[in-house]
Amino acid sequence: MAKVPVFKAVNVSKTYQLGDVEVKALQGVNLEVYSGEFICIFGQSGCGKSTLLSIIAGLQKPSTGEVYVRGEKLSALDNEGLAKYRRSKIGIVFQSFNLIPSMNIIENIALPLTFARISKSQRITRARGLLETVGLAKYADHTSSQLSGGQQQRVAIARSLVTAPWIMLADEPTGNLDSKSANEVMRLLISLNRKSKRTVILITHNPEYLDYADRIFFMQDGKVIKTQVNSSVKSEEEVETLSHVSEEMKDAAGEVGAVNTGDATVDEKLNKSKTKTPKQAATTETTDDADTKAESEVAPEPETAPEPASESEETPEEDKK
C-alpha cells in the first residue's frame, strides 16, 4: 500500500445551479490514478467527464468531496498555488486547442514558461525543441490560424509539455480533428505515456481509443459506472491500424514502421462499445470504490519515473528528442 496515487478523487460531487434547476454534473465519484497509467474516461456527452477533468485540473472546485494529488489536498491550494499546479504539475490539452491567436506558435508553446519567469532565450530554445518533437519546426513563426486543426493540437500538446509535467490531461483532444490528424495526436499522447512514462488521463467518447488505456472509467449521469482494466494495451505503433498516419508524424514520434496486429476494425470496436462488452477477461464490473483489483492489475509504476519536474528543473531527456 506504499504507493500514493497521482490522483485520488474521494466522493467528488459537482452541482450547478441553472436558474431554479439544480444540475448534478458529478455524483459521488471515487477514483484513483497511479503514476504512469494511461487512463480513459469514457462516456457520452453530458455524463460529467469534462467536469471531472476540470476539477482534477484545478479549474473548478467540487461542490463536495476532495481531490488529492500525490496525497496533497487540491482544495488546500490558493489561487496562486493552483496556477502553479496547472503550470508545472499538469499539462492540459483541450478539444478546441485553445492557442492564443495573437501570438505565434513559439510564443504559444513558451507561454507557460513565461508565467514561470524563465528567460526568453531559455524558453524559446525549449519551445523550439518541442515544436520539433511534434514535427512542426518550420511553423515556429506562424500564427495558429495558419495551421490546420491537427497541427494546432500538436502545438497545444507541445505547449502542455513545455514545463515538463508528468501528468497529461486531455479533454477530447481529437474531437475537432479529422481521423488522420486524430491518429497523429493519439499516437503522440500514447508515446508520451509509453516512452516517457507520463500519466495520461484521456477524456473521450470515441471507443476506438479504449484499447490503448491501462484502465477505463466508464461514466454515465455524473457517476463512474464501471472500471475496466486492459490486461494488454496497444502500443503507439498500433495507432496506425486505425488509419493512415503521415510520414511526418512517424518521424515526430521517432518510430518508423507500422505493426499491424490484425486487430478488430474500427467498426467492430464501435459496436463493442455500444453494447458495453469490451474485453471480458479484464473487465471488472465495478463502480466507485471497487478498484483494488484494478490497482493490482495495473502495470506497476516504474519507480524510475521521474517526479514531476518543478518549474526550474531541467526538462526530461525525452522531450528534447
Partner 1 sequence: MKIIDILRLSFGNLRRNMLRTILTVSGVVVGIGAIVFLVSLGFGLQELAVSKVANLDALTLLTINPSQKENTLLNAEAVNKFKTVDGIKDVSPVISYSASIATDSDYGDTIAYGVIPKYFSLEDISVDYGSRTFSGDNANEVVISIASLKALKLTDPAKALGKELTTKIVSVDKKEEKTLKLKIIGISKDTETKFAYTPIQVLDQFKDGTYSKVKAKISAREKMPEIRKAVESMGYPTNSVTDTVDQINQVFNIVKIVLGGFGFIALMVAAIGIFNTLTIALLERTHEIGVMKAIGGRNSDVALVFTAEASMIGLFGGLLGVSTGWILGKGINLLVNFVAVSLDGPATVLFSTPLWFAGIVVAFAFTVSTVAGILPAMRAAKLDPLEALRYE
Residue ranges that bind partner 1, judged by CB under 8 A? 54, 57, 59-60, 79-80, 83-84, 86-88, 92, 94, 98-100, 102-103, 111-112, 114-117, 119-120, 159-160, 163
Task: Output 92 or 252, the one with its CB closest to partner 1.
Answer: 92
d(CA 20, CA 24): 13
Between 163 and 191, CB nearer to partner 1: 163
How far apart CA 321 and CA 309 sit, in angstroms, is 17
- Sheet of 167-171: strand order equals 90-93, 167-171, 199-204, 38-42, 215-220, 223-229, 283-284
Residue spans of beta strands (DSSP E) within the chain? 7-18, 21-33, 38-42, 64-69, 72-73, 90-93, 167-171, 199-204, 215-220, 223-229, 283-284
Task: Work out how close the CB of 167 gets to partner 1 at its nearest, in angstroms, rounded to a whole number.
Answer: 13
Nearer to partner 1, 94 or 217 (CB): 94
Cβ-based neighbour number of residue 39 at 10 Å = 25
* Strand pairing class (21-33; 90-93): unpaired
Name the grid cell of 16.
450547478
Nearer to partner 1, 79 or 280 (CB): 79
- CB of 45: closest distance to partner 1 in angstroms? 15
Q: CB nearer to partner 1: give 23 or 116.
A: 116
- Name the minimum Å distance from CB 88 to partner 1: 7
Smallest gap, in angstroms, from Cβ of residue 57 to partner 1?
7
In the complex, minimum distance from the CB of residue 112 to partner 1, in angstroms, rounded to a whole number: 5
Q: Which is nearer to partner 1, 110 or 298 (CB)?
A: 110
| Unique residue bearing C-alpha cell 512514462 | 197
Beta strands in 34-171 (DSSP E): 38-42, 64-69, 72-73, 90-93, 167-171
Which residue, 147 or 242, is less far from partner 1 as judged by CB? 147
- Bridge partners (DSSP) of residue 32 are 8
Residue 83 CB, nearest approach to partner 1 (Å): 4
Choose between 79 and 304: whose C-beta lies nearer to partner 1.
Answer: 79
Backbone dihedral angles phi then psi of residue 55, each to the nearest 5 degrees:
-70, -45
Q: Which residue is it, cell 495558429?
A: 144
Helix and strand numbers, DSSP H then E, in the chain:
10, 11
**Least Å from the CB of residue 53 to partner 1:** 11
Min separation Cβ 177 and partner 1, Å? 19
Runs of H (alpha helix) within 134-242: 149-161, 179-194
